[in-house]
Structure 1
Amino acid sequence: MIVSLAAIAIVFLVAFVVPHRVRLLIAALLVVPQLDTPGLPLTVALLWTILTCVLGLLSRGRSRADSPVLTVASLFVIVSVVSLLWALPSGQEEAYISISRGVVFVLWLREMIVVARDDPEFVDKITLWMVPGIVLQSVLSILFRLNPNLEEQFLRSKVAAITVGPSAEALYIDAPNNVLDPAKAGGFFVNGNVASMFGAIAALVLLTAARRTGRRWVYLVAGLAILGSIATGSKTAIFLAMGCALALLFAPRVSKGGALLGVVLAGVAVVASLSIVDEIVQRVAPDFHSATDVSLDTRTELWAVALRVLSESPFFGLGFGGWAEEVGLSLGNAGFRGSVAYAPHNFILDAWVNSGIAAAVLSVVYIGVAVSFGLRVIRQQQSARDARTAMLCLCAALWASIHGLGDNSGAWGDHRTAMVVAMAFAYLYVMASDPKPTAAEHNRASQSKPASR
């Protein structure tokens, strides 16, 4: 506890001394790993990020962060806080985790929108400062998938106690998770699906940075992040990756069409990608396909249970802790196990269960606003290349939400993933505000000019 308090004191001291731009870069550097503070509810990274964003909020002379995405996300957090009034005592920890993730997302998103409007090129720099953590996370995921024993040694070590937190020790006591499966790997995450989501979104954001800055080595880091995402063993990543590929293919057409055409093409791309990938996976990896079917069947049953329970309490839901106490036990007795028995595995249903129908409606509105904004930015682009770059950002911004439709990861993932999702939105705001030519665009323009005689 003394060490933790000393760490917090140092964080406060340094945060108030260094310039705000340095604070932002340090927050990016600390995305992974988070550095736990034993005995306290906040990690060093979480505390630094919140403090940085609050100080940024108090600063004068900066642009406003008026954004429909930010507004809807903020309302969702407010509704979640209000729902504490009917939360069960056993759900207090769950409520803290959920609300804190929302707070971090809202604060960091606001900060990134301001940066995108005041200094667009600094968004690239913040992204690049996330690279060390992304590389480390990706390498660990790959190594742990190749050698599950190495992962167990790491998770039982004192290093994991600091870099992963108490959830590492809890894996072997009372909170097992899927990284214990040899077919899964998590790196600094205890859930392979969440690790996969982080790696995939980070890869898309890095690809955006690479296209904007012209730095080829960033493409290599993005490729490593993709490999790390695949190494986690998450089935969702393969389906979503194919959907993103088809969305990029249609991006130039979206940029030339209207809003309705963009939505139609996006829907066709998603449906087509799911059908194509399902057929390919069934032929190439039948065992993998069978496991996917089992996972989907389980979730379908969970959703049916959730809707039945919510029909009895549609307005307020069950409150935080209600699902575990009123439904989880019976699901466990029925053969559901682990986290499956204690979460609906759909972020809209999860919001409804925990905070009521208002939270569920805001969850749906959040996706709608994000899609609408992303398509509008894509249509603003003057070239096919820029349209595809904007589509990359939109895919990154929506990945967590789409993933969360079949998992218990929420609309923007955990604290770490939420910050990367916010970076994707930041790039959309950069491209929406018609910034000055990026370094890569400037270089291409210079090369295209005829040489002087």
Structure 2
Amino acid sequence: MSMTLLLLAATPVAIVCGLLLPRWLFFGVMGIFGMLLPRANVLQIPLHSGLGGLVAWMRARRPDHKVRGLAPLVITLLFGAATIVLSFASSPDFPASLQAACSWAALASTSVLAVNLIMKDGLGAVGKVLALLTPIALAQALTTLVFRFIPTIESAYYSSSISKIFLGGAGQALSTDTGRNNVVSLVRAGGFLFVNVNRASMVMGIILLAYCAYALLSSKKWPLLVVIPLAAAIALGGSKTGIALLVVLPLFSIFLATASRAANAPARMGLVLSALAAAVVGVQVFFATADDFLAASEETLQPRLQLWGEAIRAIRENWFLGLGYGGWTQRWEQGNVHIPFSIRPVHDWFLQAWLDGGILFAAANVIFVFVIVTITLRAVSSPGSFQYKLAMAFAGAAFLWAIIHGLGDNTSILSDPPALVFLALLAGFMLAGPHLTRPATPDEATTASALTSDKIYAGGTYVRGFYVKGLYTKGR
């Protein structure tokens, strides 16, 4: 009853904040709640995932010009949310299904707001959002490093009442059989916001790439103060997938940005394919030469193969509707999952999506991947300098981090709530960036002048008497 009253009280607060706060501050508030609130906290629904996103949609006016790619992204995300709603009746865990539906709808609405934020308020507003979230990002990175090397502090934190503020009861439940998670390992750490190393590394990777993209677009140096600790935390946190992606995705982004500058399409595609091949070969070489890493990978691969096999068997039995949210856990508790270890997620976003929301939700996940890849390639291919193209590649790589990571870990295709606002900003970069890099028309001179304080990339041009730094490079 108290949680219901809390939800009712928080709802008008979310609406008022969404209507009255400046766009950048509203973004920042959503980011703060998304990063700090426990995953199961009912406040996340009105303040971050649900009404926050709805009000953002209402608040965001249409961009002055059609933004190519925005409609397919929004439609896909809303389709995903709708398919989850269809699973409400069959979901044993209704709060989990509601949270998932809200997250899909929220990314759609906040992406619209992000496009408006960038096109109307400029990169300076994005810088304010990231600056507001910087203390939390730094705290997450630094606590990961501290927990990794001083386990006694980690243990004291998780067992304390302080952890309950950020983790609910997940931290204190680590000492139980049902609540045990991989941060209890002495060679792993997830920071103060996570009890799972895989989720921690994925979210930190997305945040890292968001700061990298902004640094390239604005030519500012201060984001490096966040990027370096995050990179160290991912490298030392203990997630094998996180370490591999920390190496592969930046290299792939560089190759992709280079390929987009090729003079003809065949050469461009050849370079992109070479980049993909190099990424695959690089991971294989890394696995083959790092004996300890390989041994640890084999140790975690076998349980995953068992999980995937059981998940496929469950899907065959319920291929259209799936099991509903919480159905996988219920199936396990009923003794229908024949694996000799404690209850675990499927560790694959595609199989988990099919189990949770049926074939339609699984299809929505696949369509989302296609839309993101298309938006990324289009953004990287738009006219601009190498610095601009690399920023677009980093933005797309953040989505790829969640997509690739979730194929073998217990994470969804939309990552985790702490990363949602960062993904929306990155989508805004890719969708609004190509618009900002073309020459402004006379009717856009006022909008262009508002951007003079922030560089989009190296270069510049005069627009109706205003020198717009880096907005457009003539001849490219």
Same fold (TM over 0.5): yes
- 2:171 counterpart SS class: helix
Q: Which of 14, 22, 26 is equivalent to 1:23? A: 26
Equivalent of 1:152 in 152, 155, 169:
155
Equivalent residue number for residue 180 of structure 2 = 176
**2:11·2:51 contact (CA, 8 Å) conserved in 1?**
no
**One-letter amino acid matched to 1:102:** W
Structure 1 equivalent of residue 189 of structure 2: 185
1:276 aligns with 2:289: no
Distance 2:392 2:98 in 1: 34
The question of 1:56 aligning with 2:36 is answered no
The whole-number CA distance in structure 2 between the counterparts of 1:358 and 1:49 is 22
Give the match for residue 67 of structure 1: 71
Could you state the TM-score of these two structures normalised by the residue count of structure 1? 0.86
Distance 1:228 1:440 in 2: 29
Give the SS at the match of 1:107. Answer: helix
**Alignment CA distance shift 1:253-1:337 (3 Å):** same
Q: Percent identity?
A: 24
Structure 1 residue 299, shift from structure 2 partner: 2.1
Counterparts of 1:166-315 in structure 2 under 5 Å? 166-173=169-176, 174-187=178-191, 188-250=193-255, 251-256=257-262, 265-283=271-289, 285-315=290-320
The yes-or-no answer on 1:325 pairing with 2:330 is yes
Q: Hey, what does 2:339 align to over in structure 1?
A: 334
Q: Provide the residue aligned with 1:451 in structure 2.
A: none
CA gap 1:29/1:309 in 2 versus in 1, 3 angstroms? closer
Once the two structures are TM-superposed, the CA of residue 401 in structure 1 deviates from its matched residue by: 1.4
Aligned pairs, number: 439
Distance 1:430 1:127, change over 3 A: farther
Match of 2:86 in 1: 82
Q: Where do 5+ consecutive residues of structure 2 fail to align?
A: 438-447, 461-466, 471-476
In structure 2, distance between residues paired with 1:140 and 1:211? 27
For the 8 Å contact 1:20–1:52, the answer to whether it is kept is no
How big is the shift at 1:55? 2.9
> In structure 2, do the counterparts of structure 1 residues 150 and 194 end up closer, same or farther at CA, with 3 Å as the change threshold?
same
Cα gap change, 1:107/1:149 in structure 2, threshold over 3 Å: closer, same or farther? farther
Q: 1:60 to 1:282 in 2, by over 3 A?
A: closer
1:386: Cα distance to partner?
A: 1.8
What does 1:55-134 correspond to in 2, within 5 Å?
A: 55-59=55-59, 61-63=61-63, 66-87=70-91, 89=92, 91-121=93-123, 122-134=125-137
Distance change >3 Å, CA 322–CA 17, structure 1 → 2:
closer
Deviation at 1:162, TM superposition (A): 0.9
**Deviation (angstroms), 1:112:** 1.4
* Distance in structure 2 (CA, Å) of the matches to 1:331 and 1:257: 57
Q: Distance in 1 between matches of 2:314 and 2:49?
A: 37
Query: In 2, Cα distance between the equivalents of 1:232 and 1:98?
Result: 27
Contact 1:31 1:133 in 2 (8 A): no
Cα gap change, 1:267 to 1:295, in 2 (>3 Å)? farther
TM-score, reference length from structure 2: 0.82
Aligned-residue RMSD, C-alpha: 3.2
Q: CA deviation at 1:132?
A: 1.3
Distance change (3 Å), C-alpha of 1:381 and 1:325:
same
Secondary structure of 1:133 counterpart: helix
1:111-136 Cα distance to aligned partner (Å, 9 max, x none): 21332333332233323322111111
Name which of structure 1's ranges 238-247 and 26-35 shifts more when overlaid on structure 2: 26-35
* More displaced 10-residue stretch of structure 1: 352-361 or 6-15: 6-15
Which position in structure 2 is the counterpart of 1:375?
377
Match runs of 1:403-418 below 5 Å:
403-418=405-420
- The aligned amino acid for 1:307 is I
Higher mean displacement: 410-419 or 27-36:
27-36
Give the whole-Å Cα distance in 2 for the aligned partners of 1:22 and 1:289: 45
- Residue 403 of structure 1: CA displacement? 0.9
CA change 1:432–1:103 in 2 (3 A) is same
CA-to-aligned-CA distance 1:223-263 (integer Å, 9 cap, x gap): 11111222321111122123213312322213437778766
Gap change, CA 1:438 and 1:260, over 3 Å in 2: farther
Alignment partner of 1:42 is 2:43: yes
String of CA shifts for 1:352-404, please: whole Å, max 9, x gaps: 11111111111111101100111011111332222211111110122111111
After superposition, the C-alpha distances for 1:120-179 in whole angstroms (9 at most, x for unaligned) are: 322333233221111111111111111122111111112111122232233334322211
Amino acid at match of 2:281: S
Q: Give the stretch that moved more between structures: 112-121 or 367-376.
A: 112-121
Paired residue type of 1:296: L
Q: CA deviation at 1:333?
A: 5.4
Change (3 A) 1:67 1:5: closer
Aligned AA for 1:157? Answer: S
C-alpha contact 1:259 1:376 (8 A) present in aligned 2 = no
**1:80-111 CA-partner distances (Å, limit 9, x unpaired):** 11111222x3x324323433432333332232
- Structure 1 position 419 matched with structure 2 position 421: yes
Q: Which residue of 1 aligns with 2:454?
A: 439
CA shift, 1:432, in A, is 2.1
Unaligned runs of 5+ in 1: 449-453
How far apart are 1:327 and its partner, in Å? 4.5
Cα 1:402–1:266, aligned 2, differ >3 Å: closer, same or farther? farther
TM-fit CA distance, 1:14: 6.6
